[in-house]
Structure 1
Amino acid sequence: MAFDALPPIGMGTFRLKGEEAREAVRSALSLGYRHIDTAQMYENEAAVGDGITSSGIPRRDIFITTKVWFDNLRSSDLINSLQRSLQLLKTDHVDLALIHWPSPGDEVPMEEYLGALKDARREGLTDHIGISNFTCPQMDQAREILGDTPILTNQVEVHPFMANRKVVEHAQKLGLTVTGYMPLAVGRVMEDETLQRIARSRHVTPAQIAIAWSATRGVIPIPSSTRPKHQTANLDALKLRLTDDEMREIDALDRGDRIADPDFAPDWD
């Protein structure tokens, strides 16, 4: 089937390698995940592809996202790198190809790499295109460059300690879905007293509360849990309906605690 939109939760694969990546992907798909998120920079596309093919789930039922690294943003490099990603993933297309980071210092003009990404879509290498780690002005610029070509998502860091409100709201205003990476703040949500208290009252885990908070905001979470028990809990979190009071309590935890902030990052909003 062709996906018109992102599935409500994804399996993130950042930091997963080799057999661990293969098994995590295979397990996630067997439990009901249908969105697998990887990237050229993760150096695990081959293992992710193995996990997908060994899962027994038909390729047409799986939404695969990969991301083009910033050293592949020149036109010819971008197309070639995506073709290489497809070989590693053992598929003839991905469902979504993202620009992983805006070109550092605008070394490669946005017109060039978004134009190449648009070409990749026209050539059938990807069904959808999108961006990642783009600021509000960069989203506006991308929208202007691409015109009628839809941008499916902006994938950015979102968790209770980094709500990223300005970017999330601007993206949604532009009609972009927001995908939130690191939704569990690399495990830090488990240690927060507010999240622990809300979780206890509902007989769930703080991780499930954090995922439900993202989903309630219309953000697609992509946790990278490897254990089947945690993967199942993440799926079950989508069934939670947080109250307005609970949402306000979690919103108050936002302190702009950004985890992914490399030296080549854009000037954040």
Structure 2
Amino acid sequence: MASHFLISSPNPKNLLLSRTNNHSQRIIYQASLPTARSLVPLYWPWEKVKIGPLSVSPMGFGTWAWGNQLLWGYQENMDDGLKETFDLAVANGINLFDTADSYGTGRLNGQSERLLGKFIKGSEKNEDDIIIATKFAAYPWRLTPSQFVNACKSSLDRLQIKKIGIGQFHWSTAKYAPLQESALWDGLVAMHDKGLVRAVGVSNYGPKQLLKIHDYLKSRGVPLCSAQVQFSLLSNGKEQMELKDLCNSLGICLISYSPLGLGMLTGKYSASNLPPGPRSFIFRQILPGLNPLLQSLNDIAQKRRKTVSQIAINWCICKGTVPIPGVKTVRQAKENLGALGWRLSSDEILELEYAAKESPKKMVQNIFQTR
């Protein structure tokens, strides 16, 4: 007999879907969202992804906006809404939250970590059930392994937890300060050996540099578990695919940040409707050339009764990555959660990738991204 689960979807109409694995189960999507407590996870337990010793949800949430006034317009009166967003995510089975010790503008530096720590303390979940992936900035004054260990301890204090889930370096210094790079790597080893982190990872490393650090950490008995990189239908060029293949061969999980291209793949903006702040400059350069991709996303979204954002995020999941779309409102969290529990077909994936190639503009890459 089929069992029923009542879960939410931002779709405009009710939709009944069937999935068959070992048992026939029917999932009923409703347009209205019940309270966070009444929701059940939107993915099957066997869909969790292994990151070293950790088991994470197929999608995590990014918290770059939590404290960033310049790009995302953060104000401290948003904190109650961010707490509600966090609680909704956790209630729906999201257990991976990405942050960084540099997230936050000016006096709010580290605010993202502080808010996560506060929210975890107020959660019904045990802190071991919520995996925090934080990144340590390669500031020019951090020149020794002990300084990176101290940075990790400071993050632990802000997060109010005993051990960080994934300790990551925010970027490589190989292009401009290669001597500092060895301190980065030894600092990562020290964090792991001291038991401050459960797993280690890197961010903005290209395939050549990733292989180097993987081999070095392996020689020190420390497994490299994750690599975080800008990856989306706007960032799926040769280097991204080369990195993905390398991660597959080495057993490294690829975490895809900016899966919605700073919002360009949400379908909410156009050349005449740009977001406020610095993003508008980037959008003005790229959006006019995205018509083929945005049209394809919209067509598939209508057929699927999904949103454009959900299609773009699901593509990242289908490519074997763990996307971490940023969220700062309950509405965004609800919409992003609708990317779970289903998969694009192979034909739809090919259609999207063909449309991406037909779109002449690509996302601006992070200036710290290495080869």
One fold, TM greater than 0.5? yes
2:349 to 219, 244, 247: 247
Letter in 1 for 2:214: R
State how 1:1-269 maps to structure 2 within 5 Å: 3-17=53-67, 18=76, 19=79, 21-42=82-103, 43=110, 44-71=112-139, 72=142, 74-103=144-173, 104-147=175-218, 148-163=221-236, 164-191=240-267, 192-252=294-354, 253-254=356-357, 257-262=362-367, 265-268=368-371
Deviation (angstroms), 1:58: 1.2
**Local SS of the residue matching 1:38:** strand
Deviation (angstroms), 1:198: 0.4
The structure whose Rg is larger is: 2
**Local SS of the residue matching 1:201:** helix
Letter in 1 for 2:295: E
**Local SS of the residue matching 1:32:** coil
Letter in 2 for 1:102: S
| Cα offsets for 1:84-126 (capped at 9, x unmatched) | 0000000111110001100251344433211211111111110
Q: Give the 3 Å change call, closer, same or farther, for CA 140–35 of structure 1 in structure 2.
A: same
Deviation (angstroms), 1:22: 4.1
Partner Cα separation in structure 1 for residue 200 and residue 299 of structure 2: 39
Partner Cα separation in structure 1 for residue 229 and residue 304 of structure 2: 28
Can you give the 5+ residue segments of structure 1 that lack an aligned partner in the other structure? none
**Local SS of the residue matching 2:125:** coil
Residue pair 1:110, 1:142 contacting (<8 A) in 2 also:
no
Q: Give the 3 Å change call, closer, same or farther, for CA 6–111 of structure 1 in structure 2.
A: farther
Deviates more, 1:164-173 or 1:21-30: 21-30
Deviation (angstroms), 1:220: 0.2
Partner Cα separation in structure 1 for residue 369 and residue 333 of structure 2: 32
Deviation (angstroms), 1:3: 4.9
Deviation (angstroms), 1:256: 7.0
Residue pair 1:153, 1:176 contacting (<8 A) in 2 also:
yes
Deviation (angstroms), 1:14: 0.7
Work out the number of aligned pairs and report it: 265
| Cα offsets for 1:38-65 (capped at 9, x unmatched) | 1011032111211221222211211111
Residue pair 2:131, 2:164 contacting (<8 A) in 1 also:
yes
Tell me the TM-score normalized by structure 1: 0.91
Partner Cα separation in structure 1 for residue 171 and residue 361 of structure 2: 19
**Local SS of the residue matching 1:105:** coil
Q: Paired residue for 2:280?
A: none
More helix by share: 1
Q: Paired residue for 2:70?
A: none
Residue pair 1:26, 1:54 contacting (<8 A) in 2 also:
no
Letter in 1 for 2:114: A
**Local SS of the residue matching 1:159:** coil
Deviation (angstroms), 1:189: 1.1
Letter in 2 for 1:165: M
Deviation (angstroms), 1:130: 0.6
Can you give the 5+ residue segments of structure 2 that lack an aligned partner in the other structure? 1-51, 68-75, 104-109, 268-293
| Cα offsets for 1:61-84 (capped at 9, x unmatched) | 111110010113531110001000
